[in-house]
Structure 1
Amino acid sequence: MTESIVAQGGTAVAGEPGRGPMVRIEDLRRSYGTGAAAVHALRGVSFEIPRGELVALKGRSGSGKTTLLNLVGGLDSPDSGRIVVDGTDLSGLGESGLLELRRDRIGFIFQSFGLLPILTAAENVGVPMRLRRADPQEREERVALMLSLVGLGDHARQRPGELSGGQQQRVAIARALANRPALLIADEPTGQLDAETGLAVMRLLRAVVRSEGVTALVATHDAQLLGLADRVLELSDGHIVEHAKAL
């Protein structure tokens, strides 16, 4: 069994990419608004995620799950606290550094799929590599491999409107993996899918975490899906509670 996630205090020390935990969070705080009307989404959150694990994040609606994912992914900034992703302290990065981190080391999967309707499945998967200006042959080979990995090798030329919801989410997973990210961040990736399709997508996420050697942080409220995670973190009243996976 891999090292468990640690809900802890202490100081987060930035290391080198490829070493130490994939995610290290220290005393993270984020509020919206001011005075009596302020909403305190995160109240001193601290935890670590070891490399190679699929970690589920649960909590009631409005508990701060999306806030936490946006902070870890460099899409938002905390009021205070420290975030270290793959050895990089996000507080030391400017906007260009954050853009590079999101492009090269983090893959995002959203509930709404986020596919471009005028592009084929293959073209959608290739978008991140085009942004990185990858060699065209390398891009084509990687796109074909990723579509095959998610079971859509025969659907490369179809557009999102010609695919089912489950197939669209598989394309989104393939796109998130295109640039070989170290970390996958998924916000309710099965929220628009029926129970059976959602379970299949979550099983796929677990499989690609293993096959691609990535770490995944997935927000979900589905108890059946939580059972597929290596660990579960629960957000409650702005704090993190850790749940070891049941044996």
Structure 2
Amino acid sequence: MRKCERTNRGGTNGGGRVAARVAARAAVVVEDLHRSFGSGSREVHALRGVSFEAREGELTALKGRSGSGKTTLLNLVGGLDTPTSGRVRLDGTDLASLDEDARLTLRRDRIGFVFQSFGLIPVLSAVENVGVPMRLRRVPAKQREERARMLLALVGLADHVDQRPGELSGGQQQRVAIARALANEPALIIADEPTGQLDSETGRSVMELLRAVVRSEGVTALVATHDPNLMELADRVVELRDGRLVEDEA
């Protein structure tokens, strides 16, 4: 079942938002994606013919129960895995056309990752953690620190730049992780259950921040979440069930 986009016909502002959404470029295109693991009687079909688009400047939420294929889909879109069949295009680039070195460069330069467990380096300060992706690109130290501080200010942590992860709350650590994901000005942010270790109030605050960042920075975000209370914050909701897409609603 694929639901049609709902339009707001009640006013100019709503219609303008819908028109902007329709006009937005598809940053991520997933076409008939299949992913299987194992073979013979032990073969597991994690994804079964999934197709959808994620548009530039929008936050798309992936929902579904554990085992529905959300993480597998994120891994394929992020170039961390290769499909059994089908293809993924990011900004017009077919990921299947890239060798491993090119995919590594793509992940470093064009994709920002946010993990449920934050993934921060304990011995580094917040500003140093945000600077890690830029260090990998050999961005000069002064430029690296200036951008890291700017991004921490963007996520509301201007007063915590010198604190290490252990000195920050869970919500603050996830904000550092979001700032780090933006370090190299990515086209796409991939977040796998970014609120999974947070209480409901903090989780909603982090999701609202992601939405605000997507709109202010003009990036695309794919966010896997099992929390139905966070769906209303997304521009689009894609539901997976047993590896199949069962809903795609804006």
Under a length normalisation based on structure 1, what TM-score does the superposition of the two structures give?
0.91
Number of the residue aligned with 1:28: 33
Alignment of 1:19-168 (within 5 A): 20-168=25-173
Alignment RMSD (CA, Å): 1.4
Q: Give structure 2 stretches of 5+ with no counterpart.
A: 1-17
Equivalent pairs counted in the alignment come to 232
1:62 alignment partner AA: G
2:89 alignment partner AA: V
> Which whole-Å CA distance do the structure 1 matches of 2:227 and 2:32 have between them?
27
Matched, 1:200 2:205: yes
Is the 2:67–2:242 Cα contact (8 Å) retained in structure 1?
Answer: no
Cα distance per residue 1:143-183 (max 9 Å; x no partner): 01100001001101100000000000000000000110010
The alpha-carbon deviation at position 129 of structure 1 amounts to 0.2
The alignment-based identity, stated in percent, is 71
Is the 1:107–1:181 Cα contact (8 Å) retained in structure 2?
Answer: yes
Q: Following TM superposition, where does structure 1 have runs of at least 4 consecutive aligned residues deviating by more than 3 angstroms?
A: none
> Which whole-Å CA distance do the structure 2 matches of 1:91 and 1:155 have between them?
41
> Which whole-Å CA distance do the structure 1 matches of 2:58 and 2:193 have between them?
17
Is the 2:240–2:247 Cα contact (8 Å) retained in structure 1?
Answer: no
1:169 alignment partner AA: Q
Under a length normalisation based on structure 2, what TM-score does the superposition of the two structures give?
0.90
Matched, 1:237 2:242: yes
Number of the residue aligned with 1:12: none
Cα distance per residue 1:92-151 (max 9 Å; x no partner): 101110011001100000000000000000000000000011122221111011000010
> Which whole-Å CA distance do the structure 1 matches of 2:231 and 2:143 have between them?
35
**Residues 243 and 94 (structure 1 numbering): CA distance in 2 closer, same or farther, change over 3 Å?**
closer
> Which whole-Å CA distance do the structure 2 matches of 1:231 and 1:76 have between them?
24
2:82 alignment partner AA: S
More helix by proportion, 1 or 2? 2
